[in-house]
Structure 1
Amino acid sequence: MQKKLFAEMIGTFWLVFGGCGSAILAAGFPELGIGFAGVALAFGLTVVTMAYAVGGISGGHFNPAVSVGLTVAGRFPAGQLLPYIVAQVVGAIIAAAALYAIASGKAGAELGGFASNGYGEHSPGGYSMVSALLIEVILTAGFLIVILGSTHGRAPTGFAPLAIGLALTLIHLVSIPVDNTSVNPARSTSQALFAGGWALNQLWLFWVAPILGGMLGGLIWKAFGERD
């Protein structure tokens, strides 16, 4: 169990460090910035690489909403859920702390929202709380269906990390303008802790909506996807 938890911590660290790091350090770099598309790809690549690296140890969740959805679908034991979530949040916070230390090392650094998720005036595109809630539920549900389908016995073997990583890239391409994309409460928590203020006040949505979406995706798959 300790190896599984460590794998989840390392995998979630990599997801936050690579994904949020691309947003904080590279997205707005003058002339050569990677933009929304680059950030979306970075998040997808973190999942692909770590799913291949440690997915065989822990299952490669790296996300509390994924762990919840897999539990609802009957693919993950409920007794391991809380330890997995704790490991994921710890890994994410360590990554955010490392990013904060790196980003603060730039002369005149202004960290702003620190890649936090937000709605209303803190949405990149000015989208409302309802918009953020809906898109997080829908995209997290879809993400779970991709995960459950690509790891099913009927799916081609060895390709699940690619499907899952591409799905996460697509999710970010759709929703970065709405709320900076969560679908992962651990990722949202880690950044909000360092941004403080409004990010912490709005953090509730980025736990509630992804968890609801994960549960919905798990239920949909359990009802239809597991049938022959």
Structure 2
Amino acid sequence: GTRHLVLTSRRGPDAPGVADLTAELTAHGARVTVADCDVADRDQLAALLGSLPADLPLTGVVHAAGVLDDGVLDALTPDRFDAVLRPKTLGTAHLHDLTREHDLSMFVLFSSIVGVLGNAGQANYAAANAYLDAVAEQRRAAGLPVTSVAWGPWADAGMATADVLTDRMRHDGLTPMAPDTAVAALRAAVAEGTSHATVVDVDWPSYAGVLTAARPSPLIGDLPEVRRALEAAKAAA
């Protein structure tokens, strides 16, 4: 039912796969505009918003930008933090501020499970996504629409498809989700007006074992699935 989709990235029409994506969306009946716009650049974003046709006003935002630069904490320089934080935090801040006067029905932020549960080598990425969740709290308090989704890994798409990263996540109990399943969860969260959602496929025996190997984890310790997994492991020992 969407009449007009504006797709933005820093490469715009030159991004891989844009032609096929545009054709697919157009076949569904939507008008598609592809723009090269860095949402972390306030002036670029303001110009893009100002160029939208009056008969097709902005009614929804999905902010899905992200950059990874993993490393152990003492190797994460300010530049490496900036590279990861900039697209997430500045993009979110500018979208939040510049669309405040628009009559939005949804404002969706793609956060990450890393900001909720953490992950080895991703302190910068955890901080970037925790910022998104904080902005969601701010928007909810102001009565503005928002859904911040802390994603677990997706299969076949997204930022966790590298073989080494996928294997490590599977070993740690985080199973990559089929995109159709993830999108269905996103649709439900937005329809229900959920301000925060964590969407992840967890193998709790494996994940609980990893997270509690050195010490108990108050973060997940009260979850029924974790208690059952730890009790089963203890009985087996």
Q: TM-score, normalised by structure 2?
A: 0.29
Q: Which has the higher helix share?
A: 1
Q: Which has the higher strand share?
A: 2
